[in-house]
Structures are given as structure tokens and as C-alpha cells.
Chain A
Amino acid sequence: MLRLGHRPDALIEVLHTVQQSFGYLDDDALRYVSTSLHVPLSKAYGVATFYSLFTLRPQGEHTCVVCTGTACHIKGSTMILNRIRSRFGIGPKQTTADNQISLLTARCLGACSIAPAVVYDGEAKGKQAPDDVIARLEEW
């Protein structure tokens, strides 16, 4: 926060940094950010809920992001999601009961020419068949 200066217009940057460090934005974090940047708590909360990359809930040990952009849709990302649901019982924005895997979706990761794309714990992979995805998630 020091690096970004205590400027109200740095709110989104600061929320990114906090989320990177703690994994999610809880009430305490939002309260702290709002006082330090001199923005109303309602604004901090409003921004945190407006943008889909911010999450207010803790994530599982591992995260899997399935791209549902157009190219990936055409190449079968829905099938991947269906397979994950039937194997692990979770849909987008859900975490398995043992807190191991959180499933997220993204609207295009810019890897469209190697669709369908999936990100495993921050590592992007292209040309993922449903079987590849399931095999990878089972390792976790």
C-alpha cells in the first residue's frame, strides 16, 4: 500500500495486492483498506463485489480456472465443466467439501488458439480434453 500511495484511486490495485497475499478479501481486510485509503467502506465493498476477479470467500487449497470464452466454448469447455461436476460435485465458484479444489471460470484467457484453456494453480495449459482435466485434478 505504501508503494501505491494512500490514494483513493488506487483502490483496485490495493485490493488486488491484498487478495494476492491472503487469497480473498474478508471484512477486516476491506475495513482496513477503506480507512487507509480514505474511501467509505461502502465503496470498498461495492468495488470488491462489482469486479468478478475479487472474491469475498476463502478458496480451497488448489484452484482450477476453466475458460468459458467463445473459442473455448466452441471447443467444448462446457463438457469439461460437466465432467468436473459429475466427478467432484462442484460447479463454478464452488469448492469441494474437503476444501481441496476451487473451481472458477474465466471469460477468455487470451489463449484462444490453443482452446480449450484451463489454468491450474496459476499455470495455464492449452488443448485440454475433459480426461486431461480430470486426471490433473485427481492428482491434487
Chain B
Amino acid sequence: MTDLVTTDGVPGAREADVDKPVRRSRRMTGPQVVGHARATAAVCQAAGCLSAQSDQVFEEITAQLIADGVTDVAVKRVGCLGLCAAGPLVEVPETGELFRQVSPDDVSDLVTRLKDAKPVETKPALEPFFSRQHRVVLENCGKVDPENIDDYVSRKGYRGLTRAVTELTPQQVIDEISKSGLRGRGGAGYPTGLKWATVAKQPSGEKYVVCNADEGDPGAFMDRSVLESDPYRVLEGMAIAAYAVGASHGYVYCRAEYPLAVQRLKAAIHRAEKAGYLGAAIAQSTFKFTVELRLGAGAFVCGEETALIASIQGGRGTPVPRPPFPAASGLRGKPTLINNVESFASVPVILREGGEAYAQVGVGKSRGTKVFALAGRIVNGGLIEVPLGIKLRDVIFDIGGGVPDGRKFKAVQTGGPSGGCIPEDLLDMSVDYESLLAAGSFMGSGGMIVMDDTSCMVDVARYFMDFCREESCGKCVPCRVGTTELHMMLTKITEGRATLADLVQLESVAAMVRDTSLCGLGQGAPNPVFSTLRYFRDEYLAHIVDHVCPAGVCALSGGESVA
């Protein structure tokens, strides 16, 4: 698995995988390693595995190695190893072994293996979950200790920033980003180079760079994993952006539901300042950039950029109509660059390896790779990164391992509450911005939720409408009233009380909400309804005409009920 980075064509440093000197911090450290470590137990310390006691796994392995007097095996805390559903995970990079569901009560097997582990020339063939991926943004994820800046630097960290500020003009940096073809990873896919150029050409003076780490889409955890596993990469990307657009201050707006990400970011900001990668005279140049962290407080709409700005300023997160776009007038009325976590995390590689190298992978106008979070009814739930243009079927069946328990795949939901459900017939489509849009869905931030025949598509549509209804900020009428109205109609259908006339009305109200809402929340809210009507109209009809829920989810009152 260590080879993932190298074999995939993006040269990644191997040197840091082994033998990091054992640290000195308040945290319990690994065993004292004398000389070079022969093997390393890399224990995942991202949120998924931590909730299954991976911190105790770390401590147990360490304790046993110390008790047995082993001095040439290191134990290391790393970020997300990807296969979250099988956590706690421990990887031994030297042998390519991945241990799953390691219980803190029983690490003796693992310790025995570690004691006689030897680095191997040819590692065991990777399973499709790993071999079909292409890791660029996640190149360090599960490799570096997220709290150790030296580890990041030893894996080519900060080379992109150093190159930018010492060798390139801001315009050349923007050109590099434009050449890469990178598009916003937060949802809409706006070309990143173009956005940077717009902010750069505003009159000089106070400007801001803002990282959108609100990750509000339910069922998505890409940004969380990146922040928890490789926080310096995001800060490096922000610093490069600041240099390019002429900003000297930035904010990360992170949702408060992610305490670990917040904690690691705080630590990373502090250490990057001490190491001279944030603050004054970055990388020995005259460039200056500082970053502050701001917390959300549980409002989905704050992911929308104008609402986010209102929230950073300490107010209620209500959107305002654009234009003016934040690029011209954003935070405190100053030109503001807002990008998503993953967009910023893609930037260091682009500056390090060049925009053209980055654009090598991809399809059409969707270049590079995209991180997805696989969840729902899928065997290998977890964090993955794939080249854009990969077939949806390959993502779900090769990488994801398909649907568990011998059940039948029904749909995959992408794009969160503004997205849609893609049915089985379309599984051979390419995963890119345009194709997803054409299929009535949306790239969104990267959550993919797989559903099988136990999910009712009307219930799913109702679920998302309930979400939008609750999260509507209430400022504009079509969204505030419309989502409530739509939710009532969908409830009526799931309860078996609707008629065919209601279905007609559902469609017309949905179109009205889409066309007249103020911001993306309301405009996108009807999308799950449209997409389920487009591909699963028969399920609506079953509820309305036959009074049955084919999946057995809804409790229908009218007529007979199957539930």
C-alpha cells in the first residue's frame, strides 16, 4: 500500500514511511526505536477508527512491544487509511500488510507479526479497493503523522509553496492553476484558476482567502478526513492562493461537529507559524500570510459562500444575492477568495509537479482526481480518490465491493441535498461534472451513498426535503414555504394519502422553488424529487395508486400496507 503513491505515477516520497524518530509530546509516544525501524505499525487516528478505540490500539501495541523489549519496530499515528468500515486499521508499510478490525483487547497476533516482519521487495498484490484508486490529494493520508510538520515536509510538503514564492510571480502561479484545469471541489465546479484571477485583478489593498470547511452535505466526510489526516496540505494550498491573489490574511471556517479536525487544524496553524510556513517572511521571502480558525455552529446554509461570510463576521448565516460576488466584495466588503478544503488541498501538488502533470488524468473539462466518501449499503465504505472520468460502476463495484448481504443495488445518491439518485441503468456513465449534471445529479462535494432494495426512493426524497426545510434560513419565501409545502406533499405520498393530482402539483411546486429561490439551497432542494421522479416514478405510483411501499419502508395508512 505504501507504493500507492509511486505506482500511480505521482512520484511520492518513500523516505518518510520508516524510522521517524520517536517524538516527545504529551501524547503517549511509540516505543523507543534504536537506529532504523525495521517495521512500522501505522495506526489510524482519524475519527472513524478512533470511535472504535484505535487510540487504545496504539497504546496496546506500544506497551507490548516495550514489554517484549523490541527496539526496532516503530509505532506511528497516521491519518485515514481509507477503509473506514473495517476499522480500526493498522498498516505495516514495509510489508504492505493491512490489519482490519484490530481490537485493543487482542493485539498479540499483530505484535507477533510485527516482531518478525521484514521489508519485502514485492508487496502482495493490492486489492481493487486500493489498486483502482489514484491518490493525489490523499497522497499523505495514512502516511504522515497529522500533527508532525517535519513528517509533512519530509514527504515533499511545502515544496509547492516554496517554489511559488521564491521562483514564480503571482500571475505565473495562477497560470499554473489554470493549466491544471482544477475546478472547485466544493460543489459547483467553478474553474479555480479563473476565480483566483478575478480576485487577483481587484485593486490591491486588503483581501482575504477563506477555506470552506463547513462540509454540510450529510453523508460526506472527505474534507473532514483531509483535515484530520493532512492539515498542513490545506494550509499550504491557502498560502499559495494568498500569494497568487495578494492576500495576507485568511480564515478556515470549519463546522463545529468536527472537533478533531478543529483541534488538528489549530495545532497545525501554530506549528506552521513556528516553522516559518505561515506568518511573516514565509519560506524566507517577503510574503506574509496568517490564518485564523472560525467555527460554524450547525447551520447547513453556512456552506453557501455569502452565508459563510456573514457567519465569519459573527452574524446569522443568511445568504445575500450575488452579484456582487465575494471575489469583488466579500468579507468586510473586501475581495475574498473562497475555495473548498479539497480544492486547496489539490494546490500544493499542482505547484510542485506543474499544472500540466496534474491535468494528465481526467476527462473532458474535468481534470485531475476527486475524493469521494463511500457510504450506505456498500461493502467497502470509506474514503477514496479516483481519476475523474472513471466509470461509476467501477467505483461502486470494484472499489466499493458492491452491495453487502447479497442484496440488489438500487441507486447511488451523489451531491447531497441538491443532488440526485442515479439508477442501475446508468452505472456505466463516467464520473465527471458534466455527466453527473446530465444524469440529473450533481458532483457536489463528493458523498456517494449507495442504496439497495431496502431503501424507498420516495422516502429518500422526503428525507432530503425534510433536511432542506429544516436548514432553510427562512430569508426568501420560495425556499422557506416551498420546502415545507413539498415536504408535506411527499409525506402524504409516503403515508398513502396522495392522489395523482398531488403528483402533478408536486412537480409544479418543485419547479417553482427551483426557479425562484435566492440561493443554492432552495434552488437545489427540489433536485432529489426530480431525479427520483425521473428514474423511480413507478415507486411514487405504487404508493399513490396501489398503496404499497415496494421497499417496505413507509407505513401507509390508506389501503393495505406492507410495512
- Say whether A associates with B: yes
Which residues of A does B touch, CB under 8 Å? 7-13, 15-16, 39, 43, 46-47, 50-54, 68-71, 73-75, 106-115, 117, 123-126
Residues of chain A within 8 A of B145, CB atoms compared: none
Contact of A52 among B221, B298, B460 (CB under 8 A): B298
Docked complex Cα distance between A106 and B256 (Å): 11
* Contact of B219 (CB < 8 Å), options: A16, A112, A114: A112
The 30 sampled A-B contact pairs (Cβ below 8 Å) are A9-B312, A9-B313, A11-B314, A13-B294, A13-B295, A16-B256, A46-B316, A47-B315, A50-B316, A52-B297, A52-B299, A70-B447, A70-B464, A71-B376, A73-B218, A106-B257, A107-B218, A108-B221, A110-B225, A111-B84, A112-B373, A112-B376, A112-B447, A113-B374, A113-B382, A113-B383, A114-B84, A114-B85, A124-B47, A124-B50
Using a Cβ–Cβ cut-off of 8 Å, how many residues does chain B contribute to the interface with A?
54
Instruction: Please tell me if B350 contacts chain A, counting CB pairs below 8 Å.
Output: no
**Residues of chain A contacted by B296 (CB below 8 angstroms):** 12, 51
Cβ-defined contact, A71 with B314, below 8 A = no
Does any Cβ of A come within 8 Å of B51's Cβ? Answer: yes
Contacts of B224 in A (CB 8 A): 110
Q: How close is B262's CB to chain A, nearest CB, in angstroms?
A: 10
For the complex, what is the distance from the CA of A111 to the CA of B50, rounded to whole Å? 10
Pairs A-B, 6 closest by C-beta atoms: A69-B218, A51-B297, A113-B381, A70-B219, A53-B298, A11-B314
Does B273 make an interface contact (CB < 8 A)?
A: no
**Beyond the given A50-B473, A51-B297, A108-B221, could you list 4 further A-B residue pairs with CB under 8 A, ordered by the A residue number?**
A70-B219, A70-B464, A73-B218, A114-B51
| A124–B51 CB distance below 8 A | yes
Chain B residues, CB < 8 A from A11: 314-315
Establish whether residues B219 and A50, one from each chain, have CB atoms under 8 Å apart when the complex forms: no
Any A CB within 8 A of the CB of B375: yes
CB <8 Å contact, A71 and B316: no
Output the residue of B48, B50, B447 with the most chain A CB within 10 A. Answer: B48
Contact of B463 with A113 in the complex, beta carbons under 8 Å:
no
Flag if B297 contacts A53 (CB, 8 Å): yes
Task: Establish whether residues A8 and B257, one from each chain, have CB atoms under 8 Å apart when the complex forms.
Answer: no
In this assembly, does B305 line the interface, its C-beta being within 8 Å of a C-beta of chain A? no
Q: Are B221 and A110 interface neighbours, CB within 8 A?
A: yes
Query: Contacts A53-B256, A125-B51: A111 and B221 contacting too (C-beta < 8 A)?
Result: yes
A46 contact set on B, CB distance < 8 A: 316
Q: How far is the CA of A73 from the CA of B258 in the complex (A)?
A: 19
Q: Mark contacts of B218-261 with chain A using CB atoms, 8 A cut-off: 1 yes-contact digit, 0 otherwise.
A: 11110011000000000000000000000000000000111000
- Which residues of the other chain, A, contact B376 by a CB distance below 8 angstroms? 70-71, 74-75, 112, 115
A108-B218 in contact (CB<8A): yes
Task: Across the interface, name the chain B residue whose C-beta is closest to A119.
Answer: B51
Known A-B contacts A53-B256, A114-B87, A126-B48; the reply to A8 vs B314 at CB < 8 A is yes
Given A52-B298, A113-B374, A117-B51, are A43 and B315 neighbors across the interface (CB < 8 Å)? yes
Instruction: Known contacts A12-B297, A53-B256, A71-B219; decide if A112 and B381 are in contact (CB<8 Å).
Output: yes
Give the CA-CA distance A125 to B51 in the complex, in Å.
5
CA of A73 to CA of B376, assembled, Å: 9
Residues in A with CB closer than 8 Å to B295 are 12-13, 16
Of the listed residues B299, B375, B451, B463, the one surrounded by the most CB atoms of chain A closer than 10 A to its CB is: B375
Output the least CB separation between A67 and chain B (Å).
8
B449 beta carbon closer than 8 Å to chain A = yes
**Could you tell me if A51 and B463 are in contact, using CB atoms closer than 8 angstroms?**
no
Which among B216, B297, B449 is the interface contact of A54 at CB below 8 angstroms? B297
B257 to chain A, nearest CB (A): 6
Distance in angstroms between the alpha carbons of A8 and B75 in the assembled complex: 45
Chain B residue at smallest Cβ distance from A126: B51
Given A52-B299, A107-B467, A124-B51, decide whether A12 and B314 contact each other with a Cβ distance below 8 A: yes
Q: Does B52 contact A (CB under 8 A)?
A: yes
Q: Does B217 contact A (CB under 8 A)?
A: yes
B377 at the interface (CB under 8 A from A): yes
Cα separation A53 to B463 with both chains bound (whole Å): 21
A13 to B, closest residue via Cβ: B295
Query: Which residue of chain A has the shortest Cβ distance to B297 in the bound complex?
Result: A51
Contacts of A52 in B (CB 8 A): 297-299
Check if A74 sits within 8 Å of B451, measured CB to CB. yes
Q: How far is the CA of A70 from the CA of B460 in the complex (A)?
A: 9
Q: Mark B336-378, 1 if CB is under 8 A from A, else 0.
A: 0000000000000000000000000000000000000111110
